[in-house]
Amino acid sequence: MTDPLSEQTRASTTAPWSEERPTAVLVLADGTVIEGKGIGATGSVQAEVVFNTALTGYQEILTDPSYLGQIVTFTFPHIGNVGANDEDIEDLTPAARHGAVGVIFKADMTDPSNYRAVRHLDVWLKARGIIGLCGIDTRALTAWIRENGAPNAVIAHDPSGQFDLDQLKSEAQAWSGLEGLDLAKVASSGQTTHWVEKPWVWNEGAGEQSADQARYHVVCIDYGVKRNILRLFTGLDCKVTVVPAASTAEDVLALAPDGIFLSNGPGDPAATGAYAVPVIQELMQTELPLFGICLGHQILGLALGGTTAKMHQGHHGANHPVKDHTTGKVEIVSMNHGFAVESASLPEGVEETHVSLFDGTNCGLRVTGKPVFSVQHHPEASPGPQDSHYLFRRFVNLLREKKGEELLPERA
């Protein structure tokens, strides 16, 4: 098979500034060197390279804690015209800069032309410490990842154009990768907090939940939670308490929750599961409603006796078709994961509820006879379609059922 990163492709990476030395490089673990124009922060970092197929929402994508330890290649060619603002951020503790560590664009960034922009994207990337390059054939890189899998790499940016390529190759080859890596403790907020921000409303922003609106208490175990998940809970009258990833079952239960949420997050679920699985198993014995998303879904699968595996290229984008077997409906959803629960490993009493229509991988489960379920995709979107918002109502209905209250329609 022809290498998608052909000589022609590599030559095209420097065409826009052929008279100048490239100021950024992406060095793959196999020794491939892709030259480009540096953007964002300077320096170098080891990470896994993935591609994201979303057309919008680059700021939300780059601040999603599930991307910690990864370099995001955008397949959409023009990134930056929306600029950056202080609202479209998904990590809970932005000062810690949890999210993608590197970024790759095809075209040069343009000046912002959106009324919500408060700064240029390049300025924002520098402030976040995100290293990037642009001017390469991202279609060819995406095709390479599809054929060969998500590679370990080093991305480096130096305005002088001086790079020790042999050293960078050694660093790319030496990096252990995401397998066996627990990043949830890094991405977690690290302290117990109360979330009050409500869902964002066009041209109004996000208001705050008042005390009389909090009817159900949800404790979120934060493995790297996204803000919009928490907003959707408060929008359904839930008081939300966020606790660190390493919290014990006793810590959670001491808060007297009506339900428990296992959040998304980065890294290998098996590594995080070393301390999270016993906690989840103990919490399931309480019969409290429990809901998991992304990493939370994977760790729940482990707690139930299943296994997880590293995917070839992962799922990253806002246009993935998923079938909900409980309704028979197909949804277009946002996804961001490089590990998956192995369907065949799910034991008796655990039902597969959702499946990817791209590759048949598991995207959801529930426990027979218990108020416990989870999904692999991101029903909160940000960015992406809102087809799966109903899952939050499904969870809140479990809380209402416990209290003997009338159930909400799943779809508003």
Q: Active site includes 378?
A: yes
Q: Are 13 and 34 in contact (CB under 8 A)?
A: yes
Tokens 């909900």 belong to residue: 324
Q: Active site includes 354?
A: no
Of 90, 238, 380, 389, which residue is the catalytic one? 380
Q: Active site includes 363?
A: no
Cα(303)–Cα(249) distance, integer angstroms: 14
Cα(197)–Cα(209) distance, integer angstroms: 6
Q: Residue 173: CA atoms inside 13 Å, Cβ hemisphere, count? A: 10
Of 48, 294, 297, 377, which residue is the catalytic one? 294
Cα(314)–Cα(306) distance, integer angstroms: 19
Which of 57, 91, 73, 80 minimizes the C-alpha distance to 319?
57
Buried/exposed code over 59-84 (b: 16+ C-beta within 10 A; e: otherwise): bbbbbbbbbbbbbbbbbeeebbebbb
Of 297, 377, 378, 389, which residue is the catalytic one? 378
> Residue 386: is it exposed, middle or buried by C-beta count within 10 angstroms (0-12/13-18/19+)?
middle
Q: Are 153 and 50 in contact (CB under 8 A)?
A: no
Q: Are 297 and 365 in contact (CB under 8 A)?
A: yes
Full DSSP string of 22-64: --EEEEETTS-EEEEEEEEB-EEEEEEEEEE--SS-HHHHHT-
Q: Which residues are catalytic?
A: 294, 378, 380
